[in-house]
Amino acid sequence: MIKKAKKQTSEQEAEEILKIVLDTLDENKADDVVVIDLQGKSSIANQMVIASGTSQRHVASLAEKVQEKLKAAGYISMAEGEEKADWILIDAFDVIVHIFKPEVREFYNLEKMWSSIGTLKKVGGE
């Protein structure tokens, strides 16, 4: 059964989605994972997750795994960018996930743009 098909989720569901995303990225060896808290500061999402994959194949695999885990938990998500896999955006409603190849991530530098709005937190690793 699909838990949410609409834009607004409860705070508990948003936290569950974030946990699924972060756990999946960690299990599948995503690099340099950052969470930006946008709650109350942006209407697009409560949380933004930014991560890197080591190659196009890794980026595509990370995105696929995140979507599979969300679906298995009963959440709907939508993705863009799978064809090229330099940058894949996953919209999981209250959580937006960006998975990049490192050079593409550096070029767009979303952390700099969004950190002026929300609180940035590195996850796991160093």
Assign residue 112 the CATH number of its domain. Answer: 3.30.460.10
For the CA atoms of 77, 71, 16, 109, what is the dihedral angle to 10 degrees?
Answer: -40
The C-alpha atoms of residue 47 and residue 38 are separated, in whole angstroms, by 5
Could you state, in chain order, the average pLDDT of each consecutive group of 10 residues for the chain (126 residues)? Answer: 51 93 98 91 88 97 98 96 95 95 95 76 70
Residue 51 counted as domain residue:
yes
Quote the pTM value. Answer: 0.87
Q: How far apart are CA 124 and CA 41, in angstroms?
A: 25
In a domain, 6, yes or no: no
Domain range spanning residue 25?
11-123
Q: What is the pLDDT of residues 83-114, one digit of tens each?
A: 999 999 999 988 999 999 999 999 999 988 88
CB 99 within 8 A of CB 59: yes
> Domain for residue 72, yes or no?
yes
Quote the pLDDT of residue 5: 41
Q: Is 1 within a domain?
A: no
